[in-house]
Structure 1
Amino acid sequence: MKVCVTGLRGIPGVMGGVETHCEELLPRIAALEPEIEIEVCCRAPYVDPAMTSFRHVALTPLYSPTGRISEALVSTLVGILHARRGGADAVHIHAVGPALFAPLARLLGLRVLLTHHGADYDREKWGRGAKLMLKLGEWLGLRSADRVVCVSPSLAARMKARYPARADRVEFIPNGVSTMPPSPQDDGDVLAELDLIAGGYILCVARLVPEKGIHTLVEAFRRSEEGNSDARRRTLVIAGAGREDDRYAQDLLAMAEPHIRFLGMVPRSRLGVLLRNAALFVLPSFHEGLPIAALEALACGCPVLLSDIQPNLDLGLAPARYFPVGDVAALAARLRADEAAPAAANTPQELPDTLLDWDEVARRTAAAYRKLKTGKSLRHALTAAS
C-alpha cells in the first residue's frame, strides 16, 4: 500500500505544528508498517531538493506558490495529482483547507485519511472569503474522507455532532510528545551562552503569527515587571520564527529589548534545555489544535500557564494553569503572582491523559491506515453502481 501525505509544508526541520506532527509521526508509522510506503508531497520552497528521504519516508518536492491560502490549496492539488500519477492507493490530507480536494482524491480512485488539526476558520488572520472556504473544506473533508482523525477530544466530539452520519469514521488521536534529544553541552553551558539563568526566565515556544497571541504576552510581561529593578527582572524568551516578509512578525521582533528576547528557531536539543530550566512556560494562543509545545513543556516538568481556549482546556490541567484568553491585565497579574510564588513543577498526577508518546500515537494512526485498505474509492463505488 502506498500513501502520499499532503497539506503540510514538508519535513524535516520545517517550522509549524502540522510539520512537527508529521516529522514525529510518519517515520514511526513507516517503522511499524514496513509494507506501507509513505511519500510526503513537500512544498518545494521549504525543503532541500537533494533530500529524497527521511527515516524511511520518501520526500518529493513539488511546485508550490508562497502565499497564505493559495499556497496550501495549490500545493495540495498538485500533491493529489502526483499521488494519482505515482500509483498511490491513498492520500493522507492534513488540515481543513487542503481537505477541499478530498472529493477529487476520491474521484481519482484514492482512499482518503484526513487529519483535522483544528478549526482554522476561527483564526483572525483570515478574511470572510477565506473563512468560508476553510469551512467548506471541513464540510467536504468530513463528507468525503474514508477516515477522519481529530487531534483533540473536543474537536472530535464537535465533528461527530456536526456530521452524525459520518460519526463512525471520526476518531480522536492526540498529538504526541517525544523525549527531547540530549544536549551535547551541559545545561549550564547552554544557558550561559544564551545569557540566561536557570529559573530566571519565562519561556514561550511558538511561531510568530497572530493566533499565537505573543503580542499579548509581551505587553503582559512588561506590565508585570513594572517597578522591578534590573537586578530583579526576569527575562521573557520567545523561541520561534515567522515569515521574513510578514508584518506581524516584524512588529513583534521590533519589541525586543534586553529582557525580551527572540531566539528564532531553536534546535530541539537546546529547546529541551530551555524547557527544563524555565521558571514558567506560557502559551497565550487564541487558536490551537492540541498544542505540541505545551505537551512538551509538561513532559519536561516545566510549570505551564495557558490561555483558556478549548484545545488548551482539553489538557485537563488545574484551573490555576489557565488565564482568560486575550486578557492582558489578567495575564500580567498571573505573571506577577508567579514571580512572588513560583509555580511548582508538574507532578505525575497533574499530567493529562492526552499526554501520549509519539510511538503510541503512531500505533493508533497506523491502525487508521490499515482501515483504509478495506475501503473502496468513490470511483470504484460509482463504477459498481452503474
Structure 2
Amino acid sequence: MMAVYSTSRPPNSNLMGGCAVRICVLGLRGIPQVVGGIETHCEQLIPRLQRQRPDDEFTVIGRRSYCPHLIFEYCGVRIVALPHAKNKYLEAISNSAVGLLYARFYIHADVVHIHAIGPALVAPLAKALGMKVLVTHHGADYNRDRWNAFAKAVLRVGEFCAVHFADRLIAVSPSLAEQLKRRYRSQASRISFVPNGATHILQPAASERERRSLRRRFGIRGEYIVTVGRLVPEKGFDDLIRSFKSVANPPKLVIIGGAAAGDPYVAHLHHEANDRVVFTGSLRRAEVTILLRDASLFVLASRHEGLPIAALEAAILGCPLLLSDIQPNLDLGLAQANYFKVGDRDDLRRKLADPPRTFLVDPAVILNRYDWDKVSETTSAVYSTLMEKTPNGLANTH
C-alpha cells in the first residue's frame, strides 16, 4: 500500500496530445490516516481517480509534520511532504505556496487541484504559471469560530480567488453550490456539486475480543452516545457536554477526536465534563468504526460543516443520528426529528432524553447517495472537462 521512493520528472511537453496529464493536489495536511475531513476526502478520492485515470499521474502535496516520509507512494499515488509554517494562520497557505512552486517547476504539473478556500489564495499564481486549476470548496471556513476577523477576511478573498481563477470549482454540498452560483452568477457554469463519500467506513465487523478490549480501554460499559470530530469550537462540543449533563440518568458520552497540544478550548471541555464523559483522543479508523457500530446514538452539534463525513459514516453503520440544523446537515435530507436547533442546549437536552430509536435512518439511502466510487466517477468527469479541446486545438476551460 505504501512505498518510499524518489524520482525526478522531466517536463510534459504535450498536455492534450495523449501524454500523461500531471495533476498536483494541494491544500491538505497529508494522507494516509491523517485526521480531518479534507484528508479523509483526499485519501478516498485521489487513489480512486488514479485507478480510473491510469494514464495520468497524481501527486499529493502534504505537510511534513503529518507525513511519515518525505516522498512515498500510497495506493499508486505519489505523496510529497513539503515544509510549512508552524502557525495555525499560516500553515495551510505556506505549504500550498511551496507546493505550487514544486508542482510547476519540479514535476511540471499540468493541473493543480486545490482543496479548501484558504489554499485557493494561490489560484491566481497557478493560472499565471500556466496551469489548469480545479478547486474543491469544502465549506465557508470564514464562518469557523477559531479564526479572528483578519483571518476570516483573508478566507473570503480565498473564496473569491477560487471562484474567479479556477477553471472549475466543486462544492461538496448542494446548498453551498447553489449559494456560490447565486453570489457569483457570471461564474455559475463553472461550479458543480459533488458530495463527499462515506463507503470507506464499511469493513468486516471487529471480533468480540477487539470490541471488548476497546471498551475496557476507555471504561465504556453498556449503551453510550458518541460524537466524532476535531476538538475545535465550531464542532459545538461544549453545547453537547452541557446538554448531556442536564439529562437524567444518561449513558456515557464518548467524544472521539484529537486537538492541538495545549489548546485552551480542550482544557475548557475537560473542565465542563463529568465522569460520564469519555475523551478518547484520535483513534485509528478501525477503532472509530467499532465505536460507531456499537453506539446507541451519534450526535453532531456543529455550528459549521462542509458535508459531515462523520455523520455519514455513523449512518452507514446503522447508528441513529441527531444533528444540529445547520444547512450542510440539513442537506443530508433526514427527517425533521433527526435535527435540533443549533446552539439551543435546551432543545438538544430534550432530544437526548428521547429513545435512540427515534433517530434511526436508512443506511441504504446514505450508501447510495454517498458512494466514493460514484463520487470519483463524477470528479473524473470534471477533470475531463479541463482536458477538452476546442476546434482550434486549445484546451477548453469554460
CA distance in 1, matches of 2:154, 2:84: 19
Aligned equivalent of 1:95: 116
**8 A Cα contact 2:63 2:81, kept in partner:** yes
Matched, 1:298 2:287: no
Task: Give the Å deviation of 1:248.
Answer: 1.1
Are residues 1:185 and 2:207 paired? yes
1:247 maps to 264
State the match for 2:45 in structure 1. 25
Shift of 1:120: 0.6
- The residue identity in structure 2 corresponding to 1:29 is L
Structure 2: distance between partners of 1:153 and 1:373: 25
Please state if 1:117 is matched with 2:138.
yes
Residue in structure 2 matched with residue 384 of structure 1 by the alignment: none
Alignment size in residue pairs? 368
Q: Indicate the SS of the match to 1:171.
A: strand
Question: 1:1-386 counterparts in 2 under 5 A?
Answer: 1-49=21-69, 52-85=72-105, 86-178=107-199, 179-186=201-208, 187-188=211-212, 190-197=214-221, 200-225=223-248, 228=249, 233-338=250-355, 342-343=357-358, 345-347=360-362, 351=365, 355-374=369-388
TM-score between the two structures when normalised by the length of structure 1: 0.90
The one-letter amino acid paired with 1:345 is L
SS at match of 1:263: strand
Three-state SS of the structure 2 residue aligned to 1:157 is: helix
The TM-score normalised by the length of structure 2 is 0.88
Per-residue deviation at 1:53?
Answer: 1.1
Report if the CA contact (8 A) 2:72-2:79 is conserved.
yes
What percentage of residue pairs aligned between the two structures are identical?
45
Gaps of 5+ in 1: 382-386
Residue by residue over 1:217-245, the C-alpha shift from the partner in whole angstroms, topping out at 9 and shown as x without a partner, is 011100113xx3xxxx4100011111113
The structure whose RCO (Cα within 8 Å, separation 6+) is larger is 1
- Deviation for aligned residue 1:190: 3.9
Q: Are residues 185 and 353 of structure 1, via their aligned partners in 2, closer, same or farther at CA, if it must alter by over 3 Å?
A: closer
Pair 1:236–1:290, CA change in 2 (3 A): same
Q: Secondary structure at the match of 1:243?
A: coil
Cα deviation code 1:268-288 (max 9, x no counterpart): 222222111111100000000
183-192 vs 269-278, which moves further: 183-192
Task: Please state how far the C-alpha of 1:88 moved relative to its aligned partner.
Answer: 0.5
Contact 2:172 2:306 in 1 (8 A): yes
- Contact 1:315–1:354 (CA<8 Å) still a contact in 2? no
Contact persistence 2:225–2:297 (CA under 8 A): yes
Q: Secondary structure at the match of 1:290?
A: coil
Deviation at 1:184, TM superposition (A): 4.8
CA contact (8 A) 1:174 1:354 kept: no
SS of the equivalent of 1:115 reads: strand
CA distance in 2, matches of 1:302, 1:325: 21
Q: CA deviation at 1:306?
A: 0.3
1:123, distance to aligned residue in structure 2 (A)? 1.2
Offset, 1:324 = 0.6
